[in-house]
Amino acid sequence: MANQKQQPSPETQADAMKIARATQKPGQTKEQTKLIAQGIQKGIEQYKKQQKAKARERDKFRKKQQKEKHTTVETSDVQVEHQVSYKQHWLPWALLAASWVGFGLYLTQFAA
């Protein structure tokens, strides 16, 4: 790409001419209006280039964040696998034993 001049889009040219005509001063020649339109057109093109560059940077940043998040999730999964513990709490077993004792007492009281 050796220094190629890209032709501006017809929409950009039309917008620039529309703005130039809207700001035209009394006694201004067509040539002056064309020059103003060209300046506006260059400004619009420069603005579009800046917005594209910002969009690319945002996209790169978003992809980088997603990649970091993905690697963080993978490392946290590995850590969780090492922290798994099978120790059971004593309360459920105590409640089970108490319920069996209660059931046995109930049977001895009312079954006889």
- Residue extents of the structural domains in the chain: 12-20+29-82
Cα 5-59-78 angle, rounded to 5 deg? 150
Cβ atoms of 24 and 40 closer than 8 Å: no
The whole-number average pLDDT for the span 67-89 is 69
The whole-number average pLDDT for the span 38-56 is 92
| pTM recorded for the entire structure | 0.51
Q: What percent of the chain has pLDDT over 70?
A: 83
The whole-number average pLDDT for the span 18-43 is 88
Q: H helices within the chain, ranges in order?
A: 10-22, 30-82, 91-110
Q: Residues 4-29: pLDDT tens digits?
A: 667 778 888 888 888 888 888 888 88
Is pLDDT of 85 > 80? no
Q: What is the mean pLDDT of the chain?
A: 84
